[in-house]
């Protein structure tokens, strides 16, 4: 992938896609192709086919997809399953047909078994029951990971690269309290409580589960690194993480301090926690020479600054 290569960033307005777009432009790539949802609905095969036939991208970053937190996953499982499988299948087929050189696909840590050993190694995929609250989304992501591996095997070329970043956060995240992941949800909840001068905030679950978080710009950097080093990669998926986790209670305390909320934090233990821990073993990818550069507190400050500017 050189500066004159034609690169398609699918989902360029989202959390990861916008970080990738920013990085590619900073690094001087000249031919970046994007389309918003109104211009190109990736769930519609005929639209994807026409786009690839016309644009002929050489490299694809498939950041597009339907994501959400526990509430959204529990409420709309069929929608999550259909949308993500349709997007993946359409883009993979068009990429094969129109000779895309390399494509980066993004899985999710929720694809791993809910009770597997920690930190989670790549080989733990499909070795146990997955977390029920994210079952439909996880199945779609597993299908995408297997599709990458199967296509590479059948067509005898490692063209499709599957990366599994742990929970991402950063600018352009979804801050809707009903459909967002934990970090943007907490940022908004604490900010609104501060503005309304509320004395307490009630959060879901016990706060005891441990999670690993990675800044979106670090995942974008890992993605470009993977594309540049495609010939060194094996026909498997790679975990992308920081190697550091924290409890949700610890996370909430940090965000409350950044936002400036000084009230009490209470926990509603009648609500689900999800998996008890999700820490990835990213040694396989780190050993290739890449490493993350953004500490959690630094990334959270950047994310809150973005939230303040936008909302």
Domain of residue 106, CATH code: 3.40.50.720
Question: How many domains does the chain contain in total?
Answer: 1
In a domain, 222, yes or no: yes
For the segment 151-167, what is each residue's pLDDT rounded down to a tens digit?
A: 999 999 999 999 999 99
CA–CA separation, 194 and 259 (whole Å): 8
Average pLDDT over residues 180-204: 95
Q: How many CB atoms lie within 10 A of CB 170?
A: 25
CA–CA separation, 148 and 247 (whole Å): 33
Q: What is the mean pLDDT of the chain?
A: 95
Angle at which helices 77-97 and 45-55 cross, to 10°: 30
Please state the pTM of the whole predicted model: 0.95
Strand-pairing partners, residue 59, are 7, 102
In contact, 8 and 227? CB cutoff 8 Å: no
Angle at which helices 182-195 and 248-259 cross, to 10°: 40
Catalytic residue among 29, 106, 137, 169: 137
Average pLDDT over residues 31-59: 98
Residue found under tokens 């973005």: 306
The yes-or-no verdict on residue 72 having pLDDT over 80 is no
Residue found under tokens 């519609």: 44
Average pLDDT over residues 182-202: 96
In a domain, 71, yes or no: yes
In a domain, 170, yes or no: yes
In a domain, 163, yes or no: yes
Strand-pairing partners, residue 211, are 246, 278
State whether residue 283 is helix, strand or coil: helix
Residue 110 domain boundaries: 6-174+212-244+277-294
Share of the chain above pLDDT 70, in %: 100
Is residue 124 part of the annotated active site? The answer reads no
Angle at which helices 296-310 and 248-259 cross, to 10°: 50
The yes-or-no verdict on residue 67 having pLDDT over 90 is no
Question: What pLDDT was estimated at residue 290?
Answer: 98
In contact, 182 and 134? CB cutoff 8 Å: no
In a domain, 32, yes or no: yes
In contact, 65 and 87? CB cutoff 8 Å: yes
Phi, psi of 33 (to 5 degrees): -105, 135
Question: What pLDDT was estimated at residue 139?
Answer: 97
Average pLDDT over residues 136-142: 96
In a domain, 236, yes or no: yes
In contact, 165 and 240? CB cutoff 8 Å: yes
In a domain, 221, yes or no: yes
Average pLDDT over residues 46-61: 98
Average pLDDT over residues 254-259: 98
The yes-or-no verdict on residue 237 having pLDDT over 80 is yes
In a domain, 229, yes or no: yes
């Amino acid at each position: 992938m050189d500066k004159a290569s034609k690169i398609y960033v699918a989902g360029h307005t989202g959390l990861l896609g916008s970080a990738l777009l920013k990085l590619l432009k900073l690094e001087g790539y000249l031919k970046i192709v994007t389309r918003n949802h109104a211009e190109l609905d990736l769930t519609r095969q005929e639209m994807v086919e026409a786009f690839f036939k016309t644009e002929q991208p050489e490299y694809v970053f498939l950041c597009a997809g339907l994501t959400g937190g526990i509430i959204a996953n529990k409420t709309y499982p069929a929608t999550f399953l259909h949308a993500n499988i349709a997007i993946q299948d359409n883009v993979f087929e068009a990429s094969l047909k129109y000779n895309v050189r390399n494509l980066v696909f993004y899985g999710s840590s929720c694809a791993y078994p809910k009770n597997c050993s920690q930190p989670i190694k790549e080989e733990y995929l499909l070795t146990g029951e997955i977390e029920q609250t994210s079952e439909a989304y996880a199945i779609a992501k597993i299908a995408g990971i297997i599709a990458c591996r199967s296509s590479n095997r059948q067509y005898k070329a490692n063209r499709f690269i599957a990366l599994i970043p742990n929970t991402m956060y950063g600018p352009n995240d979804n801050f809707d309290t009903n459909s967002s992941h934990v970090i943007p949800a907490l940022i908004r909840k604490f900010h609104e409580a501060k503005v309304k001068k509320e004395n307490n905030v009630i959060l879901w679950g016990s706060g005891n589960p441990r999670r690993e978080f990675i800044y979106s710009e670090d995942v974008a950097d890992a993605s470009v690194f993977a594309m540049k080093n495609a010939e060194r990669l094996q026909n498997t998926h790679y975990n992308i993480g920081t190697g550091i986790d924290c409890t949700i209670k610890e996370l909430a305390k940090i965000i409350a301090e950044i936002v400036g909320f000084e009230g009490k934090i209470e926990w509603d233990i009648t609500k689900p926690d999800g998996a008890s821990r999700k820490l990835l073993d990213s040694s396989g990818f780190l050993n290739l020479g890449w490493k993350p550069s953004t500490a959690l507190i630094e990334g959270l400050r950047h994310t809150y600054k973005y939230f303040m500017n936008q909302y």
